[in-house]
Structure 1
């Protein structure tokens, strides 16, 4: 069993590029189904402008439908102190404060420079009050506009005094172009060269390295990894970014203590239903394996011989 935490981000990153979104009520059902299975934390939406990311425009309505206990296990994407304040007023207590290491991507995604975003972080921390706020560093490895990102720049931002007070730092392979060696090296540097915080890894599977990269991050000291049902997702402001690493693939390999063959089967079935509702193809190898006829293997959904 693994002690690393998996955070399912289907309802935020997973929905950014789909053609249609589940209803608010269905999103709430998905939240509760994942929490009931034992998934320790979820990202359930974004405070980005609804006209820019329409599939996430009802984030605060989803928040309103959840209980305080459920919200303690849920995260919301934010990028300004105003985002934090509006989300906190509705009961959000966990905030993922995002900026890009690459200045070009930060301008495309947030309309300002990376330094301007960094200047807002202290006010964002203050607005979170007693809530938990994490520093999310998009394009930590490559940028769709400028190419490879200097690891020293990631370290500089993670070590910047303006980020003091964030409890976590999330290192993001936004384009899915990193390799396991690169991921392990950068996570290790963040762990040893920046203030002590819980480290997360957010990976994409664009180049087929999502699972390997997540395992490399865990081996280097990451305390949690992000994933989505069926590998849904991508960034609308990063050309070339495709789906995330699949939740089914990561939990099958990591074997968190909440996972059993029964909960895995229910997770696969939930993923399949969500993908069918969205009209999206599934990208999980573990989900495909679970549908094999190898009934003697306890992790398949086939009847036992």
Structure 2
């Protein structure tokens, strides 16, 4: 996907981050259907669930059922969230080959989200990498609360970058910089993403943004300009962390695709994404916050990207 600021692809995270706060459990067959629809539409990377405890995050309870239902070539394009070596082991045993090992830069959020300190999570990373390596799987390092923490406020950028350059992260395939609360601005995003790309040139840099303060697309484009090659988004702007009060949903997949205008993204294909987002949010009883989807439903019929029906 080429933009005026660089090249990136969109990873859809509807089925993990997007569902975390919805409360109910989307049936396995509906999740599998959505995976296949997104793949058919050209989305190259999809986050399909997590190894989080189902009693804490009920919408993730059927993640391994989704994994089992997918064909190997489909699963090869899918990601699963993990936070412990045991989670990596469970996912790998089920056939998952792409995982993101998540920890929070802020100790307070890491304790709330994962139940241990940031250092404890980093100390377990080498074992997680060993398990992934033995299974032929790749493991991303995902740094939540890279900019701000819901409990402690602003996070020192150097604290984030210290984790990026930590030798224990060398074997990770990529680094994910997360604006978990959606409170960062484009300058902050450009700095952290740019430094991460400089420190770890062998890693892809993923930017995971939320749209709490309306900066989702602006931050995503700033990230691409600074070296990010993957942007996370969720249909309808769904999402949020159950342990991050004040966070709104992810930057919407529809908004990112409209802003990026990737090769092959015709008005007709974009309309399919809009309808898909509408179906998913409606089935969950949620309201879409995608501005591009709302624009596509406007009465400005002379604009090619407006849906006619």
TM-score (norm: length of structure 1)? 0.97
Partner residue, 1:115: 119
CA displacement at 1:292 relative to structure 2: 1.8
Partner residue, 1:282: 288
Distance of 1:259 and 1:81 partners within structure 2: 39
Distance of 1:42 and 1:107 partners within structure 2: 27
Partner residue, 1:125: 129
CA displacement at 1:21 relative to structure 2: 3.1
Query: After the TM superposition, which residues 138-217 of structure 1 pair with which residues of structure 2 at under 5 Å, given as runs?
Result: 138-194=144-200, 196-217=202-223
CA displacement at 1:163 relative to structure 2: 1.0
Number of aligned pairs? 303
CA displacement at 1:195 relative to structure 2: 5.1
Q: Is the 8 A contact 1:214 1:225 kept in 2?
A: yes
Structure 2: which 5+ runs fail to align? none
1:75 to 67, 75, 79: 79
**Deviation sequence 1:217-259 (CA, Å, 0-9, x none):** 0010001010000000000011111101010000001112242
**Deviation sequence 1:13-42 (CA, Å, 0-9, x none):** 000001323211101111111111001110
CA displacement at 1:193 relative to structure 2: 2.8
Q: Is the 8 A contact 1:121 1:162 kept in 2?
A: yes
Q: Is the 8 A contact 2:49 2:60 kept in 1?
A: yes
SS in 2 for 1:225: strand
**Aligned pair in 2 of structure 1 residues 86, 258: CA closer, same or farther (>3 Å)?**
farther
Partner residue, 2:97: 93
Partner residue, 1:253: 259
Distance of 2:283 and 2:197 partners within structure 1: 40
Partner residue, 2:110: 106
1:266 to 263, 272, 278: 272
Structure 1: which 5+ runs fail to align? none
1:54 to 55, 58, 61: 58
SS in 2 for 1:137: strand
Distance of 1:275 and 1:21 partners within structure 2: 13
**Deviation sequence 1:156-188 (CA, Å, 0-9, x none):** 101111111001000000000000111011111
**Deviation sequence 1:90-110 (CA, Å, 0-9, x none):** 110000100000011111111
TM-score (norm: length of structure 2)? 0.96
Distance of 1:236 and 1:121 partners within structure 2: 23
